[in-house]
Amino acid sequence: MENQLRKSDTLTVVGELAAGIAHEIRNPMTALKGFIQLLQNSMGEDQYAMYFDVITSELKRIESIITEFLVLAKPQAISYQRKNATVIMKETLDLLSAQASLENVQFITSIEEGLPDIYCEPNQLKQVFINILKNAIEVMPKGGTVSVALEKIEGEQVLISIRDEGTGIPEDKLKKLGEPFYTTKERGTGLGLMVSYKIVEEHNGTIEVSSKLGKGTTFHIKLPIGSPTVH
Ligand code: ADP
Ligand code: MG
């Protein structure tokens, strides 16, 4: 518990700093992208195609870092509302279906009927689902199944479980999840889970992770039904 509190303090500071910086970086980025596009058009693609590929992919990387950071900021239009997590999850799975099938990943869902609404910011929650589902896809390079379950549990909560058949996470690394910049991927940002933990915390929910090496990992997201007390 103590550990959790400290982590959340760090996240708040990081979030405030990051939001400011991210906004500042966005504008010059847009200009860069525009001029590189112009340059590419006027030079013709053939000779320098490889350079442009690298530039474009690195720009995309910067962009994804910034986008993940920006979610930490109180976003543009934040609106908490009553919504069914099923709807948000289905939208998210649709969004990721192309990437999943490209990676030979199959989504299997098990959704309890008559699941009660939760009080949430749907875009932020979608971001949480995207981040965790993307990790699940990325951890199965040869493909596999991601099982998604939504159910009502004791204590007036909705439990959302996302299970993959990936590499699993070593026990001693579990506590590092959600730390800013913790990544084991060559092209990772180490921000996806930090952002997700932060969002779920703001919803008065929790995220727990269980994992078995070589078997897979499950993320358990618990969110309260009804209005959280403060925002
Ligand atoms: P990134 O995906 O950019 O590395 P994340 O914050 O999304 O950043 O994840 C941080 C790290 O947590 C990952 O690099 C990986 O080591 C670990 N991780 C997250 N999800 C999973 C998963 N489903 N299976 C195994 N490891 C995971
Ligand atoms: Mg990730």
Structure tokens at 167: 């590499």
ipTM of the prediction:
0.99
Would you place residue 72 in the very low, low, confident or very high pLDDT band (cuts 50, 70, 90)? low
Is residue 198 within 8 A of residue 72, CB to CB? The reply is yes
Q: Report which of residues 8 and 225 the model is more confident about.
A: 225
Residue 60, helix vs strand vs coil: helix
Residue 82, helix vs strand vs coil: strand
Report the DSSP beta bridge partners of residue 120.
81
CA 200 to centroid of ligand 1, rounded, Å: 17
Integer Cα distance of 42 and 99 in angstroms = 32
| Predicted confidence (pLDDT) at residue 17 exceeds the cutoff of 90 | no
Quick check: CB of 175 below 6 Å from ligand 1?
Answer: no
Would you place residue 14 in the very low, low, confident or very high pLDDT band (cuts 50, 70, 90)? low
Which residue of 7, 96, 135 sits with most ligand 1 atoms within 8 Å of its CB, as the best mutation to test the pocket?
A: 135
- 73-124 pLDDT, tens digit per residue, is 555 567 889 999 999 999 999 989 988 999 999 999 999 999 999 999 998 8
Integer Cα distance of 179 and 209 in angstroms = 14
